[in-house]
């Protein structure tokens, strides 16, 4: 596997409470850490995409390449409940300077192998260029499936550009679907109208993108979002969920390239995602744009890790009950 490296085992450290009880476990004690890339027959493959080449091309603040390992460290000390032992750390894809496309290709191939072997995939980015590599890997692994793409994001990321950036992944996925003769079903939740030009909105209309604005996501219970999520779960065979952490309010998530002035609060995001995460159709999740260089008192890392913990918790529950 080119551009692949195992994650350092030293990232998985935390408090040992086993003197209290044999089930007083934390994630660092239940994670299955692998030193070779070999997908397994089941479980959740945790992959890192150590890349911010797309952010640089999109004129953003670099630093997201450090995100995967920082999120591992933040997740390590959280409690491991039933099902969290399904996480398997399968290391990182590392992008070389000015070689984004090769890194996306490597991520796609890693994801495709994991999916076809029987694993679901949880990817820590990296910039949102992660989504093209991850999403294409899911699409290629399931060529006959109806796949719904759900993006929690302030930005539509449908830019036209001469080369791939963190602002182009969903237009790239739309083109990939078109070339493959399959539907492009894209829902973007938490969109900031002030951060998306009319050209992007026109492109979204052309591609029949379902948009839910950030102003419509200020309460935990959102009938419009819930209805759209219910509809896509009815339509889809499988779901790919991507979470751009810049969708959260800047006061909750300062550690991104473009902090949000309004954003969608974490409790609302958790409520919106729960039906997706409880569905056995959820096949792949990524969290992107975390930039440790701009974190304050590790607040952003804690918020992102809490979101990842929550997603995996309900994801495992869905599998166990499915």
At 318 the pLDDT is 60
Instruction: Give the per-residue pLDDT at 322.
Output: 46
Q: Which residues contact 148 (CB under 8 A, 6 or more apart)?
A: 185, 187, 232, 233, 235, 236, 238, 239, 240
What is the total count of domains within the chain? 1
| Residue that is written with structure tokens 């640089």 in the block | 56
SS3 of 141-161: the string is: HCCCCCEEEEEECCCCCCCCC
Distance CA 96, CA 160 (A): 23
Find how far residue 226's CA is from the centre of its chain: 20
CA terminus-to-terminus distance, the chain? 32
C-alpha distances out from residue 178 to 140, 172, 181, 196, Å: 13, 10, 5, 24
CATH of the domain at 283: 3.40.800.10
pLDDT of 225: 80
Write down the pLDDT at residue 319. Answer: 56
Cα angle 110, 321, 238 (rounded to 5 degrees) comes to 40
Q: Report, as ranges of residue numbers, the positions in the chain whose pLDDT lies below 50.
A: 320-322
Please name the residue that has the structure tokens 């159709």: 281
Give the pTM: 0.96
Q: Give the separation between CA 132 and CA 51, rounded to whole angstroms.
A: 13
Which tens digits make up the pLDDT trace of 202-222? 999 999 999 999 998 877 667
SS3 316: helix
How is 62-92 classified by DSSP, letter by letter? --GGGHHHHHHHHHHTSB--TTGGGEEEEEE
- Counting Cα atoms < 13 Å in the Cβ hemisphere of 297 gives 3
Structural tokens at position 266: 């974490």
pLDDT in the model for residue 220:
60
Of 91, 109, 183, 93, nearest to 143 (Cα)? 183
Amino acid 261: pLDDT: 92
Spatial neighbors of 127 by CB under 8 A, at least 6 apart, are 51, 52, 53, 54, 55, 58, 60, 64, 166, 257, 288, 289
Condensed to tens digits (0 to 9), the pLDDT of residues 231-288 reads 999 999 999 999 999 999 999 999 999 999 999 999 999 988 999 999 999 999 999 9
Question: What is the residue-wise DSSP string for 279-314?
Answer: STTEEEEEEE---GGG-STTHHHHHHHHHHHHHHHH
Phi, psi angles (nearest 5°) of residue 293: -65, -20
pLDDT, residue 1, reads 65
User: What pLDDT does residue 85 have?
Assistant: 92
| Structural domain span for residue 93 | 4-321
């Amino acid at each position: 596997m080119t551009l692949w490296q195992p994650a350092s085992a030293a990232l998985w450290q935390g408090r040992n409470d086993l003197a209290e009880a044999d089930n007083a476990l934390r994630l660092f004690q239940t994670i299955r850490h692998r030193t070779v890339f070999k997908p397994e027959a089941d479980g959740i493959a945790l992959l890192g995409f150590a890349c911010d080449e797309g952010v640089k091309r999109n004129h953003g603040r670099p630093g997201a390449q450090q995100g995967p390992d920082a999120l591992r460290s933040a997740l390590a000390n959280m409690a491991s409940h039933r099902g969290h032992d399904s996480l398997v750390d399968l290391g990182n894809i590392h992008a070389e300077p000015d070689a984004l496309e090769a890194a996306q290709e490597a991520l796609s191939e890693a994801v495709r192998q994991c999916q076809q072997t029987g694993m679901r995939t949880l990817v820590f980015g990296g910039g949102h260029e992660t989504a093209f590599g991850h999403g294409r890997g899911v699409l290629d692994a399931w060529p006959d499936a109806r796949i719904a793409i759900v993006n929690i994001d302030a930005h539509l990321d449908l830019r036209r550009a001469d080369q791939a950036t963190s602002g182009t992944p969903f237009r790239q996925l739309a083109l990939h679907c078109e070339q493959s003769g399959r539907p492009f079903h894209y829902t973007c939740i938490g969109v900031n109208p002030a951060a998306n030009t009319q050209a992007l909105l026109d492109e979204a209309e052309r591609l029949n993108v379902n948009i839910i604005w950030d102003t419509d996501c200020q309460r935990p219970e959102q009938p419009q979002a819930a209805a759209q999520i219910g509809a896509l779960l009815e339509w889809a065979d499988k779901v790919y969920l991507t979470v751009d952490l810049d969708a959260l309010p800047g006061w909750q998530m300062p550690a991104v390239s473009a902090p949000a002035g309004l954003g969608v609060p974490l409790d609302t995001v958790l409520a919106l995602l729960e039906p997706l995460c409880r569905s056995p159709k959820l096949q792949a999740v990524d969290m992107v744009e975390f930039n440790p260089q701009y974190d304050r008192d590790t607040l952003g890392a804690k918020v992102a890790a809490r979101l990842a913990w929550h997603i995996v918790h309900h994801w495992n529950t869905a599998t166990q009950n499915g």
